[in-house]
Structure 1
Amino acid sequence: MLFEKLTDSKSDRVYEGEMLRFRMEGDNFWQEGYIREMRPDIQALVINDRFIMLDDIEAVHRGSTIATRLGYGLITFGAGWSLFAALGYATDKIDSTNYSADDALVTLASAGTGFLLVKLLGRRKFRTGKYKRLRIVDLHF
Structure 2
Amino acid sequence: MRYLYLFVFVLTVSSLAAQRVLLIEKLNSPKTTKLYVGDYIQYQLVDEKDWYGERIYDLRDDTQALVFPDRYVAIEDIAMLRQGKPWARNIGLMLVTFGVSWSGFALLGTATDGDPETGYERSDAIVTGVAVGTGVLLPALFGTKRMRFGEGERLRLRILDISF
> Offset of 1:136 from its aligned partner?
1.4
**CA radius of gyration, larger in:** 2
2:141 pairs with 111, 117, 120, which one?
Answer: 120
For 2:120 and 2:131, how far apart are their aligned partners in 1?
Answer: 17
Matched residue SS, 2:57: strand
Give the TM-score of the pair, scaled to structure 2. Answer: 0.73
Q: Deviations over 1:73-103 (max 9, x none)?
A: 1110001001111121122222212211100
1:28 pairs with 45, 50, 57, which one?
Answer: 50
- Structure holding more helix per residue: 2
Q: Aligned AA for 2:160?
A: V
CA distance 1:76–1:30, change in 2 (3 Å): farther
> Offset of 1:47 from its aligned partner?
0.8
For 2:51 and 2:110, how far apart are their aligned partners in 1?
Answer: 45
For 1:105 and 1:28, how far apart are their aligned partners in 2?
Answer: 39
Q: Aligned AA for 2:136?
A: F
Bigger shift: 55-64 or 74-83?
Answer: 55-64
For 2:129 and 2:25, how far apart are their aligned partners in 1?
Answer: 41
Give the TM-score of the pair, scaled to structure 1. Answer: 0.83
Q: Aligned AA for 2:157?
A: L
Q: Aligned AA for 1:110?
A: A
For 1:140 and 1:89, how far apart are their aligned partners in 2?
Answer: 65
Cα RMSD, aligned residues only: 2.1
Q: Which runs of 5+ in 1 are unaligned?
A: none
Structure 1 residue aligned with 2:8: none
> Offset of 1:140 from its aligned partner?
5.1
Q: Which runs of 5+ in 2 are unaligned?
A: 1-21
* Contact residue 42 and residue 83 of structure 2 kept, 8 A: no
Alignment of 1:32-43 (within 5 A): 32-33=54-55, 35-43=56-64
> Offset of 1:3 from its aligned partner?
0.4
Give the total of aligned pairs: 139
* Contact residue 44 and residue 81 of structure 2 kept, 8 A: no
Moved over 4 A (4+): none
- Percent identity between matched residues is 40
For 1:73 and 1:45, how far apart are their aligned partners in 2?
Answer: 36
